[in-house]
Amino acid sequence: MAVSTETDKVNVLDFDRAALAAWFEARGEKPFRAQQVLKWIYQQGVGSFDAMTNLGKSLRADLAAAAEIRAPTVAADQRSSDGSRKRLFQLADGNRIETVYIPEPDRATLCISSQVGCALNCTFCSTARQGFNRNLTSAEIIGQLWMASRLLAQDGARPVSNVVLMGMGEPLLNFDNVMAAVALMQDDFAFALSKRRVTLSTAGVVPGLRRLAEVTDISLALSLHAPDDELRSRLVPLNQKYPIADVLQACRDYVGDGRRRVTVEYVMLDGINDSDAQARALARLLRNLPSKINLIPFNPFPAAHYRRSSPERIERFRDILQRSGIVTITRKTRGDDIDAACGQLAGDFRDRTRRRERFAVQVIGGVA
């Protein structure tokens, strides 16, 4: 791991608009300075206070002495044959996380991480096998979007139009920092993304879902992956704490009676969760939840003990759901040639849980 380069200066990327305004006010400055600084950083892509020409020289000097604009740095950059791009970002403490850019004809989506590793242990996910180190700060979360946006602008690439919190980690287990970053994503003086263009994906942390409903109405995705508690508890161990019925009720409460729908994510595992009977059970389960389903062909990773369902099986599963009246699509796999597809992100960090070590022992023993 690299030696930390952290300083005593305040990192302004850690502040949403309200917090930045309060910081300015505490220093005897007008709160509107926060709006000016946010526009320079997030809309102009400026990384130096000296470039903020509508601020007085003395204020710029004061800011340079007390604060900094510090985002993760690029440690590696991989391009997929399909146009997707995975960046390995290095943090100040030497840990590394991954972010994926996915361009399409009508949009460009950035998949960002919320934790160094993941505190959960979903059995079909490469990130989970790597273990967990810590939560990301709000600066490290929004910094992924800020850095990606600056680099895309330099390349003349399509700018980010959508953000999905579907990278490494469980966002609702890092609630406060994620919400501060989301506030900047939506702020008119920052990235100005609409609520439909920011999606948070969760494995079903019920208390977090309750809190989420109190502070935002961004789009919600649920990693479900099974139609019953017995199987889901094996695939997503968090289900032992928050069973399906409780999770779905929290999702129903979140979307309310409006037009919003939850996107239900369902990884297709050959012979595990892809039978006709399971498709019908899933349709019954979601009967009273405004939702659409994303079927995700499993993306393999080293020592994974699952196989991807065949295209014919996925199509059959989808047809059963659609005949039940549920909008269902099969997600197109993107970036799998650079291990950037759903479930393949791994990063590079020190595992504090020893989960990676235990898994390595299992692989050697032939029980993975």
Domain map (residue ranges) of the chain: 10-68, 73-364
- How many Cβ atoms are within 10 Å of 364's Cβ, its own excluded? 10
Do 34 and 17 contact (CB within 8 A), yes or no? yes
pLDDT at 368 over 80: no
- The yes-or-no answer on residue 122 being catalytic is no
- The yes-or-no answer on residue 170 being catalytic is no
Do 87 and 95 contact (CB within 8 A), yes or no? no
pLDDT at 362 over 50: no
**Contacts made by residues 105-110, CB under 8 angstroms, sequence distance 24+:** 107/161, 107/162, 108/152, 108/157, 108/158, 108/159, 108/160, 108/161, 108/162, 109/160, 109/161, 109/162, 109/163, 109/164, 110/144, 110/145, 110/148, 110/160, 110/162, 110/163, 110/164
Do 266 and 273 contact (CB within 8 A), yes or no? yes
Catalytic residue among 118, 122, 251, 342: 342
**89, two tokens:** 């970002």
pLDDT tens column, 104-139: 999 999 999 999 999 898 999 887 778 898 999 999
| Prediction pTM value | 0.90
Distances (CA, A) of 27 to 66, 67, 68, 250: 10, 12, 16, 42
Confidence of residue 302 (pLDDT cuts 50, 70, 90): confident
Pairing of β 262-268 and β 96-104: unpaired
Among 11-20, 202-211, 342-351, the range scoring the smallest mean pLDDT is 342-351
- Give the separation between CA 227 and CA 247, rounded to whole angstroms: 12
Q: How many CA atoms lie within 13 A of 335 on its CB side?
A: 25
Neighbouring residues of 32: CB distance < 8 A, sequence distance ≥ 6: 21
Q: Give me the phi and psi of 82, to 5 degrees please.
A: -95, 5
The residue ranking higher by pLDDT, 342 or 273, is 273
pLDDT at 355 over 80: no
Name 76's bridge partners. Answer: 88
Please give the mean pLDDT across all residues of the chain.
90
Whether CATH 1.10.150.530 fits 10-68? yes
Structural fold of domain 73-364: TIM Barrel (3.20.20)
Pairing of β 115-117 and β 132-135: antiparallel
pLDDT at 191 over 70: yes
pLDDT of residue 342: 54
Catalytic residue among 98, 140, 170, 265: 98
pLDDT at 358 over 80: no
pLDDT of residue 343: 47
**363, two tokens:** 């692989």
pLDDT at 166 over 80: yes
Neighbouring residues of 287: CB distance < 8 A, sequence distance ≥ 6: none
pLDDT at 220 over 80: yes
pLDDT tens column, 35-52: 999 999 999 999 999 999
Q: How far is CA 335 from the centre of its chain?
A: 16
